[in-house]
Amino acid sequence: MTTTLRLQYSDVRTRLVDGKPLIGLRHRAKAAGDMPVTTAWVEMPPETVRRLIKTLEETLSELEPKQSE
């Protein structure tokens, strides 16, 4: 049986590593019994974040109802 997590919020941070910027994401959620769950930081360069945003926007647009012309 899979436990469904309820996303509460996401943290975002930026930092420099070897002079290169990284953007980090971390999600916080609650599991069954309101037990808190926190993921590890996932750090990406800005160009990867841009691709992620584009993918998310495309996915959201696919979920929107089609407008008839």
Please tell me the distance from the alpha carbon of residue 43 to that of residue 37, in angstroms, as a whole number. 19
CATH code assigned at 43: 2.30.31
Predicted pLDDT of residue 68: 58
- Quote the tokens at residue 36: 């808190």
Strand 20-30 relative to strand 36-38, pairing: antiparallel
**pLDDT (tens digit per residue) in 20-68:** 999 999 999 998 888 898 889 999 999 999 999 999 999 999 998 876 5
The whole-model pTM stands at 0.72
Residue 11 lies in a domain: yes
- CA distances to 29, 58, 60, 67 from 64, in Å: 26, 10, 7, 9
- So what's the pLDDT on residue 65? 80
The candidate with the shortest Cα–Cα distance to 14, out of 46, 36, 57, is: 46
- How many folded domains does the chain comprise? 1
| pLDDT at 2 (0 to 100) | 63
DSSP element (H, E) containing 58: helix 46-63
1 domain residue, yes or no: no
Range of the domain at 23: 6-62
Q: Is the pLDDT of residue 69 over 60?
A: no
* pLDDT given at position 51: 97
